[in-house]
Amino acid sequence: MTDLAWHVLWVALATDLATGLGALPFAFVRRISDRSHGILAALAAGMMISASVFALADKALRTGELWLVIAGLLAGAAFFAWSARLLQRTEWRIRHLSAAESRQSVLIIIMMFVHSIPEGIAIGVGYATGELEFGLLLASAIAVHNVPEGLAVSLPLRVKGVSVPACAGYAILTSVPQPIAAVPSFLLVSVFQPLLAPALGFAGGAMIFLAIAELLPDSLARCTKEETAWALMAGLVGMLWLTAALGV
């Protein structure tokens, strides 16, 4: 493997580790009330929807045809719906949690894991352009985006009593595809470039469906509709601002 390919691997690994930073705020919060849980769930939903529409889908439209992006979005939504039904028939558990308590967290981990695959491809393709500054800037933007995504992964786990280090570990796990996908896409850009648009759409569709089907109903069950709406807007606008600030 060339020196540049090793560089791509280490940079993508750093973006993966950045996801674990999303668990840090919970090190300073001893207990999360039911109402705060609802507000944070809506905040996470807003962040996911914003990232899906203004980052993933927007980038997909700039790298591929509209029909590929739409197909990817619908396929991602269908994948989430299938995964949710599959989990209802399984006993997957996270640490001391029951299968029922683990369900939402497992779904979030799966969807964020899938979401990381096109991001890894994007890092590799970015470096394959031959412009190292562009590749590094793109990887830096993804790393910063990974921090609030790590927060979204950690939230339902921490609320149920999972330790902060374990939350960080699960958050990092969701971004493992980034270093795994970055190097092959860098070395085989002609193969991976056409896959980027539908893959980004797929990840966006899965995350949007997750936010609407899981996080928003959870929020509405724990706090008022107005609190849910404002938290959703705060998450959406906050992630939009971050996306615009880190635009490449």
pLDDT band at 36 (very low <50, low <70, confident <90, very high): confident
The pLDDT of residue 180 is 92
Q: 13: exposed, middle or buried (C-beta count within 10 Å: 0-12, 13-18, 19+)? A: middle
pLDDT digits (tens, 9 = 90+) for 134-156: 677 778 878 877 888 888 888 88
Q: Where are the domains of the chain?
A: 3-27+34-245
The pLDDT of residue 95 is 66
The overall pTM is greater than 0.95: no
The pLDDT of residue 22 is 87
Could you count the other beta carbons within 10 Å of the beta carbon of residue 177?
Answer: 21
Could you count the other beta carbons within 10 Å of the beta carbon of residue 246?
Answer: 16
pLDDT band at 101 (very low <50, low <70, confident <90, very high): low
Which segment, 22-26, 78-82, 229-233, 235-239, is predicted with the most confidence on average? 229-233
- Number of C-alpha atoms within 13 angstroms, CB side, residue 9? 10
Question: What average pLDDT does the chain have?
Answer: 84
> In this structure, what DSSP letter does residue 68 have?
H
What percentage of the chain carries pLDDT values higher than 90?
23
What percentage of the chain carries pLDDT values higher than 70?
93
Whether 158 has a pLDDT exceeding 60, the answer reads yes
CA–CA dist 39, 219 (Å, integer): 6
Whether 17 has a pLDDT exceeding 90, the answer reads yes
